[in-house]
Amino acid sequence: MMDSDYSYDSIAILEVEISSFSGGGYKVKYDFNRNMITWNDGYMWNNNFCKSLTQTKLGIIRDRLPKSGMIEWMKAYNRGETEEYGNPTANPMYWKITVIYENGESFVSSHTKHFPKNWNKLKSIIEDTTECSFRLR
């Protein structure tokens, strides 16, 4: 994957999940082609939903996602640069981010017991666009 070929503007699908050692957790999926947000609650199935991604919420993502540095730290984690870009943590235990670009190529990064320093920037985008807490119980 060439860095210059992939920008935040060419993301078609963004999926972010977190989970605890007990297996409970959350997964949010943004489908920018269909303008949909899908939420999966691993604690309470009746909290799952699928709703439209409004222009206001799309604006939040387009403005703040590049500022989060998400793609940059995903690449750093995949290179093994966890100490420079992250911090050890007990809970949440696990995170995984999947990015699918408009050309169909995917990019995945994940880690256990070690979260990116800028995680809260991504977390606040998720919370502001889903209106749900993206924090484990």
Q: Which CATH architecture has domain 3-130?
A: 2-Layer Sandwich (3.30)
Percent of the chain with pLDDT over 70: 93
* pLDDT at residue number 45: 76
* pLDDT at residue number 122: 96
* pLDDT at residue number 4: 45
Residue 73: CB atoms within 10 A of its CB come to 23
- The radius of gyration of the chain's CA atoms, rounded to the nearest angstrom, is 14
- Scanning the structure block, which residue is given the tokens 């990015």? 99
Residue 67: CB atoms within 10 A of its CB come to 11
Residue 50: CB atoms within 10 A of its CB come to 12
In this prediction the pTM is 0.91
* pLDDT at residue number 5: 54
- Which residue in 97, 75, 80, 85 sits closest to 19, CA to CA? 97
* pLDDT at residue number 24: 82
Residue 105 has pLDDT above 80, yes or no: yes
Tell me the average pLDDT across 22-49.
90
* pLDDT at residue number 6: 66
